[in-house]
Amino acid sequence: MEKVQFNCNNAKGKLSLNMKGNIVAVSLFSGAGGLDVASFLAGVPVVISTDFDSDCIETLKSNELFAEAEIIKGDLHKIDSSVFQEVLKKREHDKFIVIGGAPCQPFSKAGYWVGHETRRGINDPRATLVNEYLRVVTDLYPDAFVFENVESLLHPTNKVIVDRFIEIITEQGYKYKIVRANAQDYGVPQKRRRLFILGTTGEFKSDEPRKTHCPESECQTTGLEPYVNVGEVIAGFDGPEFFEPEEVVDGGTYASDLKEVPPGMNYKALTAWYGYPNPKFVAEKRYWSFLLKLSPDMPSWTITAQPGPWIGPFHWDNRRLRVPEIAAIQTFPKGYKFYGTRRSVQKQIGNAVPSLMGRAMIEHVKESIE
């Protein structure tokens, strides 16, 4: 499949930078740059971005935001910390942070940590990139760091991983917070739960990253803004100029069933559980995201990197979401460009940290070292 550049000129999400002070960031596992964009939004310019995926590297290079960043392609296992140290020496700064989220796939199964004279890592070859993140943090000793991963990292089968992570950073003198965050609390039009481990050599100024949004029923009490609905964010992409062949589902196995699912529901709308006459499916016998359809009046469900043939979320107009729509839902800024095949771009965007969510985390550690 041909690799092309996708330019997401969404009507919302224009990037506004606020560069105060002289704090910079080193980004590991940058991917398409979701957490990197978050860092810029927080007023912490990224001076180093890294990833092993060629398309991700081209995505970063395609965006002017990274014009002054050193973009390094390679497996972090094979990148010596001295490479980062040399770049930092050339970039004027008073303080710096390390940001990044190691690939989350290993944490669906248990791993465990073992001691080593220079590093400690999970005894699982898929999970050693967490170890490499810690290796860079311990070698560079940044003023603060932001580590992102899936919530299931806190599952009992993975508890030893988190315990060892905390032990290592505590030995290094870091104060830390473990934050279980929902993206919609930070202005992201998406229900997306993530885990962050935040570390600082300073003092946290507040108990948690500042939330900006809440359920509408609580706004008067909290003074926050109501959750952002997905319809507000992707309304400008309905035109034929945004059409993608991959969005079409007509004629597929479950195309007619998808049309019967009301916005905001999934296949369970077609079951006896919901009172559907002549039920087509049995409740709880399918993945919950099977035939999952967005409602314009609600935040989106999680945007995934590799959705299956009939796995949502689908648009309420009975089609797959378009690239600028999923980019907007992930709060990538106006005009952000992605490089690669349609499948590659879906993966890049789906794996990204929503930028507005990441900004709140980075602002929290930034405040602790200012």
Q: What is the pLDDT of residues 323-347, one digit of tens each?
A: 999 999 999 998 999 999 999 999 9
Cα 307 to Cα 23, 282, 343, 344, 351: the distances in Å are 38, 21, 10, 12, 12
Please state, rounded to an integer, the average pLDDT across all residues of the chain.
90
Residue 217 structure tokens = 């029923």
**pLDDT confidence of residue 72:** 98
Instruction: List domains and CATH numbers for the chain.
Output: 4-225+351-369 (3.40.50.150), 245-321 (no CATH)
Amino acid symbol at 281: F
**pLDDT confidence of residue 334:** 87
The pLDDT averaged over each successive group of 10 residues in the chain (370 residues) is 60 50 92 98 97 98 96 96 96 96 56 37 60 95 96 82 91 97 98 97 97 97 98 95 95 95 98 96 95 98 91 97 98 96 96 98 98
Assign 3-class secondary structure to 54-99: HHHHHHHHHCHHHCCCEEEECCHHHCCHHHHHHHHHHCCCCEEEEE
Q: Is residue 363 within a helix (H) or strand (E), and if so which, with residue range?
A: helix 355-369
Which sequence positions are flagged as catalytic?
104
**pLDDT confidence of residue 308:** 86
Question: Quick check: 344 and 273 in contact, CB under 8 A?
Answer: no
Largest CA-CA distance found in the chain, in angstroms, rounded: 69
- Using a cut of 0.85, tell me whether the model's pTM lies above it: yes
